[in-house]
Amino acid sequence: MILLRERTIQEPASIICDRCGRRSDIESDDVEFDEYLSLNRIGGYGSIIGDGTRLQLDLCEYCIKELLYPFARINEP
């Protein structure tokens, strides 16, 4: 028999674009919420970011298109 315990977890409720400030709530904008790009990177040994430095970034789809599309390889369905 497996006995279960209750525990409290945290989950995202909203996300805010670090560039333009656009906010999306999971409850009301769940399509737009899912289109955000979240980057969480830790610089490795010899990295120009800095060894062990954490880089975090959240971008909305509008900023993704404006900033990354010029450099991205786009494969449309």
Please write the tens of the pLDDT for every residue from 40-75.
Answer: 999 999 888 889 999 999 999 999 999 999 999 989
Distance CA 19, CA 38 (A): 12
Domain count, the chain: 1
Domain contains 37: yes
Domain contains 23: yes
Distance CA 22, CA 3 (A): 43
Query: For the chain, what is the radius of gyration of the CA atoms?
Result: 17
Structural domain span for residue 31: 14-68
Domain contains 38: yes
pTM above 0.85, yes or no: no
Contact, 61 vs 32, CB < 8 A?
Answer: yes
Checking if the pLDDT of 30 tops 80, the result is no
- Residues of 64-75 as b/e, b for ≥16 C-beta within 10 angstroms? beeeeeeeeeee
Domain contains 25: yes
Domain contains 3: no
